[in-house]
Amino acid sequence: MGEPGPGLRTGGDVRTVLSVEDLRIRFGGLIVLDGVSFQVRSGEILGIIGPNGAGKTTLFNILSGIYRPTGGRVLLEGEPVGGRTMHAIARRGVGRTFQNVRLFGNMSVLENVMVGRHGRTRAGFVHALFRVGGVRREERSILEASRKELEFVGLDELAFLPAAGLPFGKQRLLEIARTLASEPTVLLLDEPAAGLNPRETEGLSRTIREIRERGITVLLVEHDMELVMSISDRVMVLQNGRTLCEGTPRQVQDDPEVVAAYLGEGF
Partner 1 sequence: MDPLGTRSRPLRERLPLPLFAALAAVLPLLLSNEYYITVLIFMGINVLLVVGLNLLMGYTGQISLGHAAFFACGAYGSGILNVRLGWSPWVCMPVSLLFTGVLAYLIGKPILKLKGNYLAMATLGFGLIVEHMAVEWGDLTGGPSGLSGVERLTVGDWRFYTPGIRYAYLVWAGVFLCIVLAQNLVGSRIGRALRAIHGSEVAAGTLGVDTARLKLQVFVLSAVLASLGGALYVHYLGFIAPASCGFVYSIHLVTMVVVGGMATIWGSVVGACILTLLPQVLTFLEDYDILVYGVILILMMLFMPEGVVRGVLAAFRHAGAKVSGLGGAGPRAADGG
Among 65, 69, 192, 241, binds partner 1 (CB under 8 A): 65
The residues in 92-111 that bind partner 1, with binding defined as CB under 8 A, are 95-96, 98, 102-111
Distance (Å, rounded) from C-alpha 162 to C-alpha 122? 26
8 A C-beta contact, residue 42 and residue 13? yes
Residue 261 near partner 1 by CB under 8 A: no
Residue 159 near partner 1 by CB under 8 A: yes
Distance (Å, rounded) from C-alpha 133 to C-alpha 9? 36
Among 86, 194, 259, 261, binds partner 1 (CB under 8 A): 86
8 A C-beta contact, residue 113 and residue 149? yes
Residue 125 near partner 1 by CB under 8 A: yes
Taking the complex as a whole, how short is the minimal distance between the CB of residue 193 and partner 1, in angstroms? 19
Query: Which among 230, 151, 157, 219 is positioned nearest to 191, based on CA atoms?
Result: 219
Query: Which among 147, 108, 139, 145 is positioned nearest to 122, based on CA atoms?
Result: 139
Residue 142 near partner 1 by CB under 8 A: yes
8 A C-beta contact, residue 234 and residue 246? yes
Residue numbers at the binding site for partner 1 (CB under 8 A): 64-66, 85-87, 89-91, 95-96, 98, 102-111, 114-121, 123-125, 127-131, 135, 138-139, 142-143, 147, 150, 156-157, 159-162, 178-179, 182
